[in-house]
Structure 1
């Protein structure tokens, strides 16, 4: 699913994304300043958060309360690799039934959960954004599980 939108349309885009997701784990890809955190703020509001949503660049993770649980919002820009993510306990967050929003997920390498959605955002020359929402599965983990079963 793809969207082209202006910042003024972000609420309707967030609503559409939540209707189409197949996982509570959303991975956000895009250049710095493209609007990942702005979209996460809109998604969090759609899910019922009244908290101040901001980028957790220095804290690495922010937690927001919503109507039926929590959102864990990660900004992994400052971490170097999987090992650093393991050191702060990311696995405890990734494998629960809460919403997980991750900026700069490429830093996680093999730590990604089995099922997730990716959101790629690009800034267009006219100031609008193009967004692509994809359903993904972590094929490496699925293959490993099949090998264990056989």
Structure 2
């Protein structure tokens, strides 16, 4: 799936992503700083029924949200991680193989720990201020 959108359309984009057939629950997010990874993840969480305020887990590495149905949703921001051992020490593999949603910012920090069976979202900022999103869910 490829989509061009403005930030005002992020709700519709999140709905389209979640409507993807056989969407994998571990999703990596690839984009430069400030392009909208956290904004999209917050909207995905909202669409999944998270009612409390979601935010970037920059300092805690992972935030856990609960949907209205009691499902756990994990949001990782690995920007400040120094090596894969740090991620392994927090039990990141247990999160990834829990069967729950895992949204991962800065996955390139832990390339050997990301499950092979995952989806990837790549977001690029276009010159007109819109975003190009590519979803790979193979």
Give the structure-2-normalised TM-score.
0.94
How many residues are paired up? 136
**Does the 8 Å contact 2:58/2:79 carry over to 1?**
yes
Q: State yes or no: 1:44 paired with 2:39.
A: no
Corresponding position of 2:88: 86
Q: CA deviation at 1:115?
A: 1.0
Secondary structure of the corresponding residue to residue 97 of structure 1: coil
**Does the 8 Å contact 2:51/2:68 carry over to 1?**
no
Corresponding position of 2:6: 6
- Structure number, greater radius of gyration: 1
Decide which moves more: 31-40 or 113-122. 113-122
Corresponding position of 1:145: none
Q: CA deviation at 1:80?
A: 1.6
Corresponding position of 1:77: 79
Higher relative contact order at CA 8 Å, sep ≥6: structure 1 or structure 2? 2
Decide which moves more: 12-21 or 69-78. 12-21
**Does the 8 Å contact 1:29/1:105 carry over to 2?**
yes
Structure 2: how far apart are the matches of 1:53 and 1:126? 28
Aligned ranges 1:61-140 → 2 under 5 Å: 61-68=62-69, 69-136=71-138
Structure 2: how far apart are the matches of 1:86 and 1:110? 11
**Does the 8 Å contact 1:81/1:109 carry over to 2?**
no
Structure ranking higher in helix proportion: 1
Alignment RMSD: 1.0
Segments ≥4 residues shifted beyond 2 Å: none
